[in-house]
């Protein structure tokens, strides 16, 4: 199997002035992940490294640069999964961590559990020696301004961020990566700061297995993004895998799952897919989706 990778930096109404920053961040993430695959590394290592690079990039709503909740705090969600044995780890509503995707992986590898949340996730992070970062290291000035703008509004609906219908203040995108390695193992990861002005303790689709991500070597790997309250209702990522399992190609599975999301719950969002044959695709019903991929021949493509 020739390794390949696809990454995304969110699906929403991405304003033109931040297109370049999104493309640059996605390209860097895809390059980082592909370098690992090209030197014989695992798809799990590749998706973790790709997502870490976007968690460090304040352009995205993950790690540094994440949206703030109603109390002005950063609460992060992430998941990582490998498709050989369906092992996964996830964290939700965790604070003071720059790399929730790595914490999710440590949950998978060093505990007998699959998911830790809030204070428990933070305590676990400290127990395994992960650096605890002060909130101002995750917070950007423009996120604080956005938060103040939203707080000052009479009406703000999370849905508007994805549709672009109410000219919300500029938002960031959730990040994700899906890769296949030389052994044919598919892995997927998703990381997010959630939606702007979310309630304290709100958890979206991203860290929920089968919703924000899924990986199964017998079908595909998927990372989803969009309005979590809709994506989780249709178990988005697993839905894509089901379509692939039933014989759909990566592109058809991606397109049909987004149509299903729209028809069933009027959902807004997008998915990236890598099927077991190394074919990748993406689809979205939002105005934009930031995506970069490197195919089996080493060819990079960046789109928004």
The residues binding ligand ASP (CB under 6 A) are 10, 61, 173-174, 192, 194-195, 204-206, 225-228, 231
Residue 143 CB, nearest distance to ligand ASP (Å)? 14
Of 258, 257, 248, 244, which Cα lies nearest the Cα of 83?
Answer: 244
Q: At CA 279, angle to CA 88 and CA 298, rounded to 5?
A: 100
Please identify every residue annotated as catalytic.
174
Tell me the two tokens of residue 131: 């650096």
Across the beta sheet with 220-226, the strand order is 213-215, 220-226, 269-275, 280-284
Q: Closer to ligand ASP at the Cβ: 195 or 219?
A: 195
Residue 193 CB, nearest distance to ligand ASP (Å)? 8
Q: Closer to ligand ASP at the Cβ: 128 or 199?
A: 199
Helix (H/G/I), strand (E/B), else coil: 252: helix
Helix axes 118-127, 100-110, angle to 10 degrees: 80
What does the alpha-carbon distance between residue 286 and residue 9 come to, in Å, rounded to a whole number? 13
Q: At CA 278, angle to CA 277 and CA 283, rounded to 5?
A: 110
Q: Closer to ligand ASP at the Cβ: 128 or 166?
A: 166
Q: Closer to ligand ASP at the Cβ: 260 or 277?
A: 260
Residue 204 CB, nearest distance to ligand ASP (Å)? 3
Residue 287 CB, nearest distance to ligand ASP (Å)? 13
Token pair 């699959």 is found at 114
């Amino acid at each position: 199997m020739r390794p390949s990778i696809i990454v995304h930096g969110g699906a929403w109404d991405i304003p033109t002035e931040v297109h370049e920053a999104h493309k640059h961040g996605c390209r860097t993430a895809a390059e980082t992940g592909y370098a690992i695959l090209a030197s014989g590394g695992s798809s799990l290592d590749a998706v973790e490294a790709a997502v870490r690079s976007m968690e460090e990039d304040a352009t995205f709503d993950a790690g540094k640069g994440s949206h703030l909740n109603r109390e002005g705090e950063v609460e992060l969600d992430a998941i990582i999964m490998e498709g050989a044995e369906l092992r996964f780890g996830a964290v939700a509503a965790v604070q003071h961590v720059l790399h929730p995707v790595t914490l999710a992986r440590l949950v998978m590898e060093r505990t007998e559990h699959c998911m830790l949340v809030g204070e428990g996730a933070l305590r676990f992070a400290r127990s395994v020696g992960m650096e605890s970062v002060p909130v101002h290291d995750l917070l950007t000035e423009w996120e604080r301004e956005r938060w103040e703008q939203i707080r000052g509004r009479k009406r703000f609906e999370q849905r508007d961020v994805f549709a672009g219908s109410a000219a919300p203040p500029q938002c960031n995108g959730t990040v994700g990566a899906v890769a296949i390695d030389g052994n044919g193992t598919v892995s997927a990861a998703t990381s997010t700061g959630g939606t702007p002005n979310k309630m304290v303790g709100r958890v979206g689709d991203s860290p929920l297995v089968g919703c924000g991500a899924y990986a199964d070597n017998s079908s595909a790997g998927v990372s989803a993004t969009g309005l979590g309250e809709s994506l989780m209702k249709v178990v988005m990522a697993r839905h894509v895998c089901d379509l692939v399992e039933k014989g759909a190609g990566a592109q058809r599975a991606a397109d049909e799952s987004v149509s299903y999301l729209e028809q069933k719950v009027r959902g807004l969002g997008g998915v990236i897919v890598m099927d077991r044959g190394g074919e990748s695709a993406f689809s979205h019903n939002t105005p934009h989706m930031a995506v970069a991929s490197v195919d089996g021949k080493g060819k990079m493509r960046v789109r928004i």
